Amino acid sequence: MFGQRTFLIGLFVTAMLIMTLPIGLADSEPNDSLMDPETIGEGTVTGTVYYGFLTDDDVDFYRISVPSKKDIEVTATMTSSGDGTITINSYDHDRQELGIFYIWMYLDAPGETDTGSWYNGESSAQNLYLEVSGDGDYEITIEFTDDTSDATTALAGICFLGTAGMICIPIVFIIIVIVVIIVIVKMVKKKKASN
CATH number reported for the structural domain that contains residue 42 in this entry? 2.60.120.380
Q: In the prediction, which pLDDT does 25 show?
A: 32
The Cα–Cα gap between 107 and 102 comes to 16
Confidence (pTM): 0.61
In a domain, 100, yes or no: yes
Q: Which range of residues forms the domain containing residue 91?
A: 27-147
In a domain, 10, yes or no: no
Report the chain's C-alpha Rg in angstroms: 26
Burial code (b: 16+ CB inside 10 Å, e: under 16) for 66-79 equals beeebbbbbbbbbb
For residue 114, the one-letter residue type is: D
Q: How far is CA 24 from CA 19, 48, 54, 61, 76, in A?
A: 12, 9, 13, 17, 22
The Cα–Cα gap between 152 and 89 comes to 20
Q: Is the pLDDT of residue 7 over 80?
A: no
In a domain, 9, yes or no: no
In a domain, 48, yes or no: yes
pLDDT tens digits for range 102-129 = 788 888 888 889 998 888 888 899 999 9
Number of structural domains the chain divides into: 1
Q: Regarding predicted confidence, which is higher, 31 or 9?
A: 31
In a domain, 186, yes or no: no
Q: Identify the H or E element spanning 135.
A: strand 126-145
The Cα–Cα gap between 87 and 114 comes to 11
Determine what percent of the chain is predicted with pLDDT higher than 90.
Answer: 18
Q: In the prediction, which pLDDT does 92 show?
A: 85
In a domain, 159, yes or no: no
